[in-house]
Chains A and B, each alone.
Chain A
Amino acid sequence: MRDAAWGTPTCMTHPPRTMTDTLKSLSTTLAAGKASSVELCQDYLARIQTHNPGLNAFISVDADKTLAEARAADAQRAEGRGGVLTGVPIAHKDIFCAEGWLTTCGSRILSNFVSPYDAHVIEQFKAAGMPCLGKTNMDEFAMGSSNETSFYGPVRNPWDIERVPGGSSGGSAACVAARLAPAATGTDTGGSIRQPAALCGITGLKPTYGVVSRYGMIAFASSLDQAGPMAQTAEDCGLLLNVMAGFDTRDSTSLERPKEDYTRSLNQPLAGLKIGLPREFFGPGLVGDTAKAVEDAIAQLRKLGAQTVEVGLPNSKLSVAAYYVLAPAEASSNLSRFDGVRYGYRTPEYGDLTDMYEKTRAEGFGSEVKRRIMIGAYVLSHGYYDAYYIQAQKLRRLIANDFAAAFQQCDVILSPTAPTTAFKLGEKTADPVEMYLSDIYTIAVNLAGLPGMSLPCGFDARGLPIGLQLIGNYFDEARILGVAHQYQLAADWHARAPTL
């Protein structure tokens, strides 16, 4: 952890909380005057100080900043100006520019970058009065599925510190699972909210592309990147999306839509709901405890009144291949801005301008980021553009068409989130292709631009969490959150926390 500036020691003037509180219950605690935001933040900061050295979930923590925001939130509540989440703290993935905070995106090339401005998402949380507990660790430029590509070292899974938390939002997932923060922001380009949520046993939502502004969110693959909430429950994710979502002219792909309440369907019974089960996601790749847990979840949802129907997503098997053309192509373009001229790291010794660019980027980027930039440069280069880039965009259309056809037959689609539970640190780092296959169930959702979420649905024999994915039609976030909430009223997997 870097740049830690601890404030005054924690002073417990109130009964210690269990630290399993949801946002909903913390909101009630604050509204009833049973604790102040300053006290809540001190509790979480103390927990971070104790447990983060073992987990490495945070890149930056600054208690003085957090507590200043907490005092302002307490003043707001005292004046009766507070909203439902005013004073409740949250951690932010280090991909979001936050004014005055070191904002690294997990990379050496931004290791000295203190952002001069706030991302739209950060502005929204500030306006809601939610203090920032710190910036969470992540795969470098969000490229990874295990949090092992971070310049700041891997995050450890709080359920087993020899295992990965998933990625790229690994720090956000681990800190919520370990109850070092009641919630966190994440971003999802190919599964980076849902896969770590699954591997850490929390709930996370990737909204429909365009619902949350990308302004100030460091770009990886612009046509796929989308920010979303990570918390203990679907209800909390709905409350957070109410804060995050909104039209923003500074993101040219931000959608201008009427404001909606994403918690409006939480209490909708599941009777009559049609759940689509894609036969391609229940094939031979799905085995063991994950298969069993997902089957049990389906049985539970049927008991709650839902019906299931088999659907087909025949082109989804091509989603990983198409993704590893499109995402690197967009990344190679986006990451050309990191050249040692306007911000970030510059190599100490150089000759001419090209020498400066090449050394700065060679030293500033890690090997996974370099691999993806090179793939992108290649597939966009003269003579290969049609064979790779255009072909991948055509497959993207076929994949999106599959979902459109499936949603003619069902209201939501259900699948596992990840093919396995958390794997060991170092287990998949030698072979990039094996790592990429961690996202086989999540990537198609990004290509189509649909909303998707992961929620806990059980544990394997080693005691590692298993995630269930729910996919909605465009702008159907409220519905999938409602299905997840009804499940969470009947099952308690989401309420289990690791012993630290």
Chain B
Amino acid sequence: MSLSAEDVKRIAKLARIRVNEAEVAAYQAQLNGIFGLIEEMQAVDTNGIEPMSHAQDLFQRLRADVVSEPDRRAAFQAVAPQTENGLYLVPKVIE
């Protein structure tokens, strides 16, 4: 498998990372090198093997539906780039 420059641009778009033409060429070469390493996997027959997502057999714990955290909105918004009246500000999305 080999990634084209268009593939790299598409992936960058999916990942919301701006790339310029020079970077596309560099990433294309590096990502293809990494995929060369990853391709080793394809030689192994894994028919009937259960995929392992996790080291431990876990179940989802549930907690009581009660308030457990204090209101720390001011402290958490103090580290945000832009807020107003307790809201996070971003460029307009809906006209």
**Chains A and B come from one and the same complex:** yes
Binary CB contact string for chain B from 6 to 21 against chain A (1 if under 8 A, 0 otherwise): 0110011011111100
Say yes or no: B76 contacts A116, CB within 8 Å: yes
User: Known contacts A223-B53, A339-B16, A362-B18: does B63 contact A249 (CB below 8 Å)?
Assistant: yes
- Closest residue to B72 on the A side, CB-wise? A116
Q: Is A341 at the interface (CB under 8 A from chain B)?
A: yes
Bound form: Cα–Cα A320–B55 in Å: 17
Bound form: Cα–Cα A371–B94 in Å: 32
A191 to chain B, nearest CB (A): 16
Say yes or no: B16 contacts A318, CB within 8 Å: no
Bound form: Cα–Cα A253–B53 in Å: 12
Say yes or no: B49 contacts A398, CB within 8 Å: yes
> For residue B91, which residues in chain A have a CB less than 8 angstroms away from its CB?
350-353, 355-356
Q: Is A391 at the interface (CB under 8 A from chain B)?
A: yes
Say yes or no: B46 contacts A391, CB within 8 Å: yes
> For residue A449, which residues in chain B have a CB less than 8 angstroms away from its CB?
54-56
> For residue A356, which residues in chain B have a CB less than 8 angstroms away from its CB?
90-91
Q: Is A479 at the interface (CB under 8 A from chain B)?
A: no
User: Known contacts A318-B41, A358-B16: does B36 contact A393 (CB below 8 Å)?
Assistant: no
Chain A positions 382-396 with a Cβ under 8 Å from a chain B Cβ: 387-388, 390-396
Q: Is A357 at the interface (CB under 8 A from chain B)?
A: yes
Bound form: Cα–Cα A317–B50 in Å: 19
Of the listed stretches A12-20, A25-33, A271-279, A431-439, chain B binds A431-439
Interface of A is mostly: helix
Number of residues in B with C-beta < 8 Å to the partner?
51
- Closest residue to B49 on the A side, CB-wise? A394
Say yes or no: A378 contacts B11, CB within 8 Å: yes
Say yes or no: B33 contacts A342, CB within 8 Å: no
Say yes or no: B41 contacts A321, CB within 8 Å: yes
Q: Is B34 at the interface (CB under 8 A from chain A)?
A: yes
User: Known contacts A116-B76, A321-B38, A356-B90: does B46 contact A395 (CB below 8 Å)?
Assistant: yes
> For residue B92, which residues in chain A have a CB less than 8 angstroms away from its CB?
352
Q: Which one of A252, A345, A371 lies within 8 Å of B60 (CB-CB)?
A: A252
Chain B positions 21-65 with a Cβ under 8 Å from a chain A Cβ: 27, 30-31, 33-42, 44, 46, 49-56, 58, 60-61, 63
Say yes or no: A346 contacts B82, CB within 8 Å: yes
Q: Which one of A223, A343, A391, A450 lies within 8 Å of B41 (CB-CB)?
A: A391
Say yes or no: A346 contacts B81, CB within 8 Å: yes
Chain A positions 434-466 with a Cβ under 8 Å from a chain B Cβ: 436, 448-450
Q: Is B67 at the interface (CB under 8 A from chain A)?
A: no
Other CB < 8 Å A-B pairs besides A371-B27, A373-B15, A377-B14, 19 of them?
A112-B79, A208-B55, A210-B55, A223-B53, A324-B34, A342-B76, A343-B79, A358-B18, A361-B15, A370-B27, A374-B15, A374-B27, A377-B11, A378-B7, A391-B41, A394-B52, A432-B30, A432-B33, A436-B34
A-B pairs with beta carbons under 8 Å apart, 9 shown? A116-B75, A318-B41, A332-B15, A353-B93, A359-B18, A362-B17, A362-B18, A371-B27, A450-B55
Report which A residues bind B (CB closer than 8 A). Answer: 112-117, 208-210, 223, 249, 252-253, 255, 315, 317-318, 320-322, 324-325, 332, 336, 339-346, 350-359, 361-362, 365, 370-371, 373-378, 381, 387-388, 390-398, 400, 431-433, 436, 448-450
Report which B residues bind A (CB closer than 8 A). Answer: 3, 7-8, 11-12, 14-19, 27, 30-31, 33-42, 44, 46, 49-56, 58, 60-61, 63, 72, 75-76, 78-82, 88, 90-93
